[in-house]
Amino acid sequence: MVGGRLEVEGLTKRFGGFTALNGVSLDVKSGERFGLIGPNGSGKTTLINCVSGALSTDGGRIRFEGRDITAIPAHQRTRLGVVRSFQIPKPFISMTVLENLVIPLEYAAGARAERADCAAEAMDILRTIGLESKAHTRPAGLTQIEMRKLELARAMAAKPKLLISDEAMAGLSSGEVDDILTILFRLNERGITIIMIEHIMRAVMRFSERIIVLDAGEPIAEGTPNEIVRNSAVEKAYLGE
Amino acid sequence: MVRTGGGLLVSLAVIVGGILLASLRVNLYFYFAGYVVLQYVVVATAWNILGGYAGYVNFGTSAFFALGAYTAIFLIEAFRAPLPVLILAGGLVSGLLGLGIGYLTLRLKGVFFSIATLALSVVLQTLIMNWDYVGGAKGVTVIRPGSPLFGNWVRLLFTVMVGLAVAAVTVAWIIERSWVGRGLRALRDSEEAAECMGVPTLRLKLFATTISGFLLGVAGAPFPYYVTYVEPSSAFNLDYAVNALAMPMIGGTTTWIGPVIGAVLLGTAQQVATVTISSELNLLIVGVVLVAFVVLAPEGIVGLVRRPRGR
């Protein structure tokens, strides 16, 4: 079950007079580990908001597994397999950790059958991610790393073909970053395409097979991690002249 | 399944109990007061489907209630329509208005949605005030048709309200336990995350506003026969908006039983205060109790009862 090819063509997004994305194109192959980096304000989050459907676009085309998804609502994109996690975790605070996972299982993964099955499956996911001991607590009682894991676990419950991880590691210690990386590697081994947006260079460079660099809403470089490190335009974007 | 069967039995028992109560020959005033309390059970439950489950606070409850009442008046004036038709029509018209405000949620969230519903209430009241066919600003007197069931209109309306209250609570109970209820809860916690987890947030919100509006209209439809004289300022009374919000808050907004507890306690307290102290004291009671609960027990009575058991 390998799928999850994402093609973005000439994507443009404006906020009033400000052009956040200016004709961005990218092609993420199925099963790929894809890195998306760039300085603050370069349009990374706007790009994934457009891909996930949280924002409408002002031009361009988004195709997922060959199907045009530019105009369909976000929840339907999730059902097709485009799932994102949030930079600032947005758990369902009135529910337990387990119930948080039942929502995507029920709504996105099309498992509206039996609630007991959903709960069992949610528990499985929590086990693989190492959160099973917290299954019956509310998100308010979680630590920072557990919150990130919940965010990923909930995304997993939606049965993604393409997982967009928006800064899942910001603010974590290096040991914790490794934890999350291990989880993402394991997901990728199962055939899930992953786009990682990250500021922690050590993590992106280790994880990605291919990286694209955005600056001021335009792609300035694309290539393997090694090529990106040696690219002078990237250096300029991050450090200035 | 056992619980569903149990719920059904309880509903039937309440309706039969209501009919038995209506056949008792106690002072008519008790039916008169009981009607108001039951009406608030419907109103509070209806409000809670949108305000409690979905987290969209409606300040315009009186608009939906009054629209139900005025739909009934129109049908009485035009066709002398029977009571069941009035109730159904009142519900449908208010449900349609609910669907309309559902589309507002596309652009208005939180307090802005609440302000819009309040404005809606003012606009609708102005329209009704200038519509002479249903009495305009001076109001309209409704003549009850003769020889109703139970030999008396107050007794009949009381029984009807028992049925409507049971129906409203059952609807809330079903929603709460279904995937719709879980989806609404997710979008109340975080609309953005819910949408990204596959929840069709717009469709669920439209469903909630429509059902909520429908039940509010249903609650208002028998009102003309109950009071026999309706004018805009009584049908659009701020009491409905304030009570609709206060009762679930006091009882607890997360479960179906919360609004029922709130409506019975607060509704009864108001009726008692009206008789024993003064009719002007109603809103003062609501205000004081509401402030106390918001500060001391934000999860309402249901939350207070649950807390010792953990979670």
Q: What is the pLDDT of residues A62-75, one digit of tens each?
A: 999 888 999 899 99
A-chain residue closest to B183, CA distance: A103
Res. B243: pLDDT tops 60: yes
Res. A191: pLDDT tops 60: yes
State chain A's mean pLDDT as an integer. 87
Res. B5: pLDDT tops 90: no
Best of B184, B187, B197, B199 to disrupt the A interface (most A CBs within 10 Å) is: B197
What are A125-134's pLDDT values in tens digits? 898 888 888 8
Domain ranges within chain A, ordered by starting residue: 6-92+160-239
| Binary contact (B192, A86; C-beta < 8 A) | yes
Which residues of chain A does B193 touch, with a Cβ-Cβ cutoff of 8 Å? 86, 90-92, 154
What are A98-121's pLDDT values in tens digits? 989 988 888 887 655 556 678 888
- Angle between the N-to-C axes of helices B257-276 and B28-48, in degrees from 0 to 180, rounded to the nearest 10: 140
Res. B304: pLDDT tops 80: yes
pLDDT at A87: 85
pLDDT at B16: 81
| Count of Cβ atoms closer than 10 Å to residue B147 Cβ | 8
Most confident of A130-139, B27-36, B68-77: B68-77
Mean pLDDT of B245-251: 91
Query: How far is C-alpha A11 from the chain's CA centre?
Result: 18
Q: Which residue has the higher pLDDT, B150 or B135?
A: B135
pLDDT at A234: 80
Confidence band (pLDDT; 50, 70, 90) for B137?
Answer: confident
A-chain residue closest to B187, CA distance: A92
Q: What percent of chain A has pLDDT over 90?
A: 25
Closest-CA distance of chain B to residue A95, Å: 8
Q: What percent of chain B has pLDDT over 90?
A: 53
pLDDT at B310: 44
pLDDT at A115: 64
Residue A27: Cβ-neighbour burial (10 angstroms; 0-12, 13-18, 19+): middle
Best of B192, B196, B254 to disrupt the A interface (most A CBs within 10 Å) is: B196
Count H helices, E strands: chain A?
9, 10
Confidence band (pLDDT; 50, 70, 90) for B162?
Answer: very high
Most confident of A129-138, A171-180, B218-227, B302-311: B218-227
Which residues of chain B does A84 touch, with a Cβ-Cβ cutoff of 8 Å? 196
Separation between Cα atoms, residue A159 and residue B89, nearest integer Å: 44
Separation between Cα atoms, residue A121 and residue B38, nearest integer Å: 43
Res. B1: pLDDT tops 80: no
Closest-CA distance of chain A to residue B193, Å: 6
Res. A137: pLDDT tops 60: yes
Residue A18: Cβ-neighbour burial (10 angstroms; 0-12, 13-18, 19+): exposed
| Contacts for B207 with CB less than 8 Å, ≥ 6 apart | B180
Mean pLDDT of B107-114: 88
| Binary contact (A92, B193; C-beta < 8 A) | yes
Confidence band (pLDDT; 50, 70, 90) for B284?
Answer: confident
Q: Which residue has the higher pLDDT, B279 or B74?
A: B74
Closest-CA distance of chain A to residue B190, Å: 6
A-chain residue closest to B200, CA distance: A75
Which residues of chain A does B182 touch, with a Cβ-Cβ cutoff of 8 Å? 99, 102-103, 106
pLDDT at A241: 67
* ipTM of this complex: 0.87
What are B168-196's pLDDT values in tens digits? 999 999 999 888 999 999 999 999 999 99
Mean pLDDT of A11-40: 90
pLDDT at B309: 47
pLDDT at A114: 59
Task: Find out whether A157 and A87 touch, Cβ atoms under 8 Å.
Answer: no
| Binary contact (A73, B195; C-beta < 8 A) | yes
CATH class of the domain defined by A6-92+160-239: alpha beta
- Within 165-224 of A, beta carbons closer than 8 Å to B belong to none
Res. A159: pLDDT tops 60: yes
A-chain residue closest to B182, CA distance: A103
